[in-house]
Amino acid sequence: MTGNNTPTPHIGAKYGEIAPTVIMAGDPLRAKFMAEKYLDNPVQFNNVRGMLGFTGTYKGKPVSVMGHGMGIPSIGIYTYELYNFYGVKTIVRIGSAGAIHKDLHIGDLVLAMGACTDSNYAAQYALPGIFAPIADYDLLRSAVNACEKLGYKYKVGNVVSSDVFYSDNPQTDKWIKMGVLAIEMEAAALYMNAARSGNKAMALFTISDHILTGEATTAEARQTTFTRMMDVALSLV
């Protein structure tokens, strides 16, 4: 399915314009910021629907950064096309998450070893049971090593990828009972697409708010702490 020069309906790049490793953020402007701050000679490869994507080099290695939008349907489309039409081998998602674990605080990093979900995304595979979406172990181990080396506070464990931001019937307490660390909206689909295509994926997050304590991110905190997950993600290239 790879190797043709025809752009997909959602990505305007030709085959070869996207690196084998892609770092993705929900906000396309965060991808733009990352390209301008970290990459050498970044070239924009996508602007379809405003979902910005750039390819450049980091310490001499080719890498692309791109937005993926909000929610499982959005990241499901973009990562499927990257894996199956553009020859991408590794996708690392960076994003914000709401903590539901007592030991997490604003600015801490969460490395998602697994991603629970209330989404029906896995139904398409018609599996005879429940699939457990997990990160690639080598990427996870490298991310842990990077956090240790850089001195960043982190926690490894399960997150939950929720389909609903404004829930009419929140049941956060049930995820807390299962030891889930934080809530976000995309990692499970990324992990499933990686598994189905035989490729690698990992998601890591900056805690932007705490659902239990009411802690919330300030503009200053976002500016000074959200780049830490970028540092860790780039160490995986």
What does the alpha-carbon distance between residue 54 and residue 65 come to, in Å, rounded to a whole number? 5
For a pLDDT cut of 90, what percent of the chain falls above it?
90
Strand partners, 205: 95, 110
Residue 237: pLDDT over 70: yes
Q: Contact 112/185 with Cβ under 8 angstroms?
A: no
> Which member of 118, 163, 209, 231 is catalytic?
209
Using the CB atoms, write b or e for 150-182: b if 16+ within 10 Å: eebebbbebbbbbeeeeeeeeebeebeeeebbb
The whole-model pTM stands at 0.95
pLDDT at 64: 98
What does the alpha-carbon distance between residue 61 and residue 235 come to, in Å, rounded to a whole number? 11
pLDDT at 224: 62
Residue 1: pLDDT over 70: no
pLDDT at 167: 93
pLDDT tens-digit readout, 166-225: 999 989 999 999 999 999 999 999 999 999 999 999 999 999 999 888 888 876 666 567
Q: Classify the C-alpha dihedral 219-225-227-229 as positive or negative.
A: negative
27 catalytically annotated: no
Binning pLDDT at 50, 70 and 90, where does residue 44 land? very high
Of 1-5, 72-76, 210-214, which has the strongest mean pLDDT? 72-76
pLDDT tens-digit readout, 136-160: 999 999 999 999 999 999 999 999 9
What does the alpha-carbon distance between residue 58 and residue 122 come to, in Å, rounded to a whole number? 34
- Phi/psi of residue 208, nearest 5 degrees: -100, -20
Q: Contact 189/72 with Cβ under 8 angstroms?
A: yes
Q: What domains lie within the chain, and their CATH numbers?
A: 21-234 (3.40.50.1580)
pLDDT at 2: 47
